[in-house]
Structure 1
Amino acid sequence: MVSDGGIHHHAHGEWREPSLSHRTIRFQKGIYADFHHLFLLQAGTAVLLLEPEEQRSLQGPALAYLPPQARCELRMAAGAAGFLIGASPQIMVDAIGDQAESYALRTFSERLWLTDEPRPHAVEETQPLVAGFVRELGDPSRASWMVISAYLRLILMTLWRTGGSEAAEQRGRGGGASILQRYRQLVEIWFRQHRPISDYARELGVTTDRLHSICCGALGRPPVQLLHERVVQEAKLRLERSARTVQEISDSLGFRDPTYFSHFFKKRTGFSPATYRDFARKTEVARSDMLSSGYSDWP
């Protein structure tokens, strides 16, 4: 469990200059074990070694986005050069935010993503953002959490768009699928406001019965359960990955008082918020299914 601290405990970035020999980069080690990484290969070749016994070749210019669960290592050939950046789960939470696109970014951020072929356009758009990320961290006098979070949000949005995910999502909008997707987006924007389901249905232009039918048919749960699951998942993320007090987390999630938040959380998880935080911080259960696990868990 990584607690809040200095920016350099939550982000790193570097430019890898060309070398006369090959180099191996192992991502999941030390304080970077739970980091999300992005490798921008500007020139040369590299090989990404995945588990189990799978490898992918990269030819610059190329991009590789690597979530923590993508246990892998990177081998840069002699002469290869590129940027490597990483961010902790805490910064990812801030970067993804709670806007209409946040659901898509949360899902995207949990998946390994590679450019299957050289895509100069994607690299051209991403490179100045990655370079800015590295430059910000390289100046100790001004390295800012807010700036790093902003760069990371722009990087994720650029990858999501240039990788075709946005277009695929647009194509998938139709009928019930469109309403469900729009409901998810509204939940991302409104879940802290504790609005009734009738407000969501009205905004979507459907009856509450129609919204109930769509959610149950596609996901097997009514819309109110999905909404509550989203609140619980956000609470878990904050309890696991921040140093905020339970009252601060309760306030940030829109609850009228910490006692009501504790009852809400315990009813749906079996733990009080304080007990859950203690449970989550025990290293021997760090990979338990009871933890929030990732951004794409809802639903």
Structure 2
Amino acid sequence: MVLSGSAVRLTPDGEETIVGPVINWGPKSPDTRVKARAGSHGIIMTLGDATLSNAIGHKPEAAALRLMSAREFTLSLNAKPEISQTITTCFDAIFKELDAGQTGMETVIEAQIRIMLVSLWRAGVNEMIEDQSYKATNLTLERFRHLVEAHLRERWPVHRFAAELDVSPDRLHDICTRTLGKPPQRLIRDRLTFEAQALLQRSHQTLDQIADHLGFCSTSQFSAFFKAEAGVPPGSFRRASTQQGGNAKYTQVGSYADWP
């Protein structure tokens, strides 16, 4: 967010001048740099997948927020002072939480990010990035992703997702493998593993509580699933993550970049 002045966004394909007040949103890339002009003021925030997922939540507007957050856009706030004020207030609240470091800090920060996302959505970002070439296949994948998020803990089988999408299981399999290179069952398992990793790294819940939260019948079933997917038992993953400051070197799966 450029509050005042301007910045230049440099990519391998060229450069984009961003004049404040403005929001620039996009995927983090090692090939992209942002250079602020002298005297300019702004904020840079990097969000991890788990934080973004928690902020989006599972409310009816989640699908639209997820679609918006997956796109790259620049939104001028010149004619939207109320949106600019709301987002600035959210950033202030996030900084206070980071400084205080109190219990529940992550929950409060995620709530502020959700307010930001809804504000951008209301400001018309979805309409701004709408693409008429956005085919039915991608829309089906968006709806599938939304259903996976909403019903992850209910452990729906693939045929249940297909029925909700009004397509055959074979059709859903074809769409996922042709577009993403993974069958729907693999995408569901990756997403469940990613959620388990996030809970093991960020929460203080016991393994029993995490297993129950994710819809497993028992802790042993959860442990067997996690070891098969991540290569190590959940307890070992948690201990290694704690020792390495939350950056376990075990395989991380289920990035939202896997989805359209």
TM > 0.5 between the two? yes
| Percent pairwise identity | 32
Tell me, in whole angstroms, the C-alpha distance in 2 between the residues paired with 1:229 and 1:175: 24
RMSD between superposed Cα atoms in Å: 4.1
8 Å Cα contact 1:62/1:123 also seen in 2? no
Q: What is the aligned partner in structure 2 of residue 96 from structure 1?
A: 56
Question: For each residue in 1:62-109, what CA deviation from the matched residue of structure 2 results, as whole angstroms up to 9, or x when unmatched?
Answer: 22347665674543423x445x37476465453132446556756765
What is the one-letter code of the residue matched to 2:195?
E
Q: Which moved more, 1:278-287 or 1:232-241?
A: 278-287
Partner of residue 222, structure 2: 261
Alignment correspondent of 2:162: 201
Distance 1:167 1:246, change over 3 A: farther
Distance 2:187 2:12 in 1: 34
Cα distance in 1 between the residues matched to 2:180 and 2:46 = 31
Q: Does 1:274 align with 2:235?
A: yes
Contact 1:95 1:153 in 2 (8 A): yes
The answer to whether 1:130 aligns with 2:91 is: no
Name which of 228, 231, 239 aligns with 2:192: 231
Distance (whole Å) between structure 1 residues aligned to residue 128 and residue 72 of structure 2: 18
Query: Which residue number corresponds to residue 177 of structure 2?
Result: 216
Structure 2, unmatched stretches of 5+, are none
Structure 1 counterpart of 2:111 = 150
Higher relative contact order (CA 8 A, sep 6+): 1
Distance 1:177 1:283, change over 3 A: same
CA contact (8 A) 1:100 1:189 kept: no
Q: Distance in 1 between matches of 2:130 and 2:115?
A: 19
SS at 1:192 equivalent: helix
More strand per residue:
1
How far residue 245 of structure 1 moved from its aligned partner, in angstroms, is 3.0
1:61 and 2:21 equivalent? yes
Which of the two has greater helix per residue? 2
| 8 Å CA contact 2:191, 2:254 repeated in 1 | no
Aligned residue for 1:240? 201
Q: Which amino acid aligns with 1:57?
A: T
Q: When the two structures are aligned, how many residues end up with a matched partner?
A: 254
Change beyond 3 A, Cα 1:196–1:277: same
> Which residue identity lines up with residue 78 of structure 2 in the other structure?
P
Scaled by the length of structure 1, the TM-score of the pair is 0.65
Structure 1: state its 5+ residue gaps. 1-38
Alpha-carbon distance in structure 1 between the residues aligned to 2:69 and 2:149: 16
Does the CA-based 8 Å contact 2:187-2:254 persist in structure 1?
A: no
Change (3 A) 1:182 1:285: closer
TM-score where L is the length of structure 2? 0.73
1:17 is matched with none
Shift of 1:128: 1.7
Quote the Cα distance in structure 2 between the aligned partners of 1:119 and 1:219.
Answer: 35
Amino acid at match of 2:22: A
> Is the Cα–Cα contact under 8 Å of residues 92 and 149 in structure 1 kept in the other structure?
yes
Q: Does 1:177 align with 2:138?
A: yes
The alignment partner of 1:120 has SS state of coil
Question: How does 1:10-49 map onto structure 2 within 5 Å?
Answer: 39-41=1-3, 43-48=4-9
Structure-to-structure mapping, 1:275-294, within 5 angstroms: 275-281=236-242, 283=244, 286=247, 290-292=251-253, 294=255
Q: Is the contact between residue 56 and residue 62 of structure 2 (CA under 8 Å) also seen in structure 1?
A: yes
